Amino acid sequence: MSGDEPITSAANDRIKRLVRLRNRRERDRTGLFVVEGYRELLRAAGAGVEVIEVYSCPELFLGKNDAELLERLRSRGAGVVPVAPGPFRKASYRDRPEGLIGVARAFDVSLGRLDPPASPLLLVVESIEKPGNLGTMLRTAQAAGADAVIVCDPATDPFNPNVVRASLGTLFDTPLAVASTPDTLAWLAGRGIATVAASPAAVLPHHQADLSGAVALVVGSEQYGLTAAWLEGADHRVVIPMPGSVDSLNAAVSAGILLFEAARQRSPREG
């Protein structure tokens, strides 16, 4: 696989550098982040993300496509660093490492990067309680055919390892922007995209709103809901009617219900 001798100690400088990328400060300082796992690296490669290094432990490979992916990444300029199972497990963020950890260059997540098609379906998330939730929402948005996800919480780091992991690598496929609420409102208005904000205090059930055109579904935090800026600034407010006695849903589940209602309305046989 490689002529190099594998790294056999977790005290090795490269392994320590890799582990440090779990910290946001280190990611911000270096402009790099970690992409662990076969599926995730495959999506990164498919989306043209620049993978600089791949730490590889063939003893842990699960399938026979891993070596092929490794060659593909190497041919695009990634350095391949063989690692023995012991130190690899130390460097891994997972309970069951799959033998592949990439280091990739963080990409642009500014609003200007987004270029949605006509009549797009967008998801706007006002704040993120847990990075894993953002990852699940990215995966759900991608499955529902959403054209982009905008996070209106400038503190969010989409390159957190838990985002990459929970998104199953869809972070690389779903156009994503991190922007302020005023910038996002202006950007959406400028493109004639209607904003539909989810609120427990709204009257219109989400399934009675028209979600078939150019629309951005806006969800707030699980704990506090949307801020006044969104509730007042949105074109429409909808409620997910809850017949049961609980009046809140997990944020990613709420986003999924709204996105798939939009997908239902946009499907050829409905409308």
- Under rule CB under 8 A, which residues in 55-84 are in contact with a copy of itself? none
- Smallest gap from Cβ 175 to a copy of itself, in A, equals 12
DSSP codes of every residue in 85-120: HHHHHHH-SSSS--SEEEEEE----SGGG----SS-
The answer to whether residue 3 forms part of the interface with a copy of itself (CB under 8 A) is no
CB-wise, 3 or 243, nearer to a copy of itself? 243
The answer to whether residue 264 forms part of the interface with a copy of itself (CB under 8 A) is yes
The answer to whether residue 141 forms part of the interface with a copy of itself (CB under 8 A) is yes
- Smallest gap from Cβ 63 to a copy of itself, in A, equals 14
Residue 151's DSSP bridge partners are 125, 178
- Under rule CB under 8 A, which residues in 158-217 are in contact with a copy of itself? 168, 170, 173, 205, 207-208
CB-wise, 10 or 168, nearer to a copy of itself? 168
CB-wise, 194 or 249, nearer to a copy of itself? 249
CB-wise, 75 or 245, nearer to a copy of itself? 245
Query: Alpha-carbon distance 122 to 188, whole Å?
Result: 10
Query: Alpha-carbon distance 252 to 112, whole Å?
Result: 25
The answer to whether residue 140 forms part of the interface with a copy of itself (CB under 8 A) is yes
Tell me the HSE value of 211 on the side-chain side, using a 13 A CA sphere. 31
If we measure between CA atoms, which residue out of 179, 176, 211, 183 comes closest to residue 197?
Answer: 211
If we measure between CA atoms, which residue out of 105, 75, 93 comes closest to residue 135?
Answer: 93
Binds a copy of itself (CB under 8 A): choice among 155, 203, 228, 246: 246
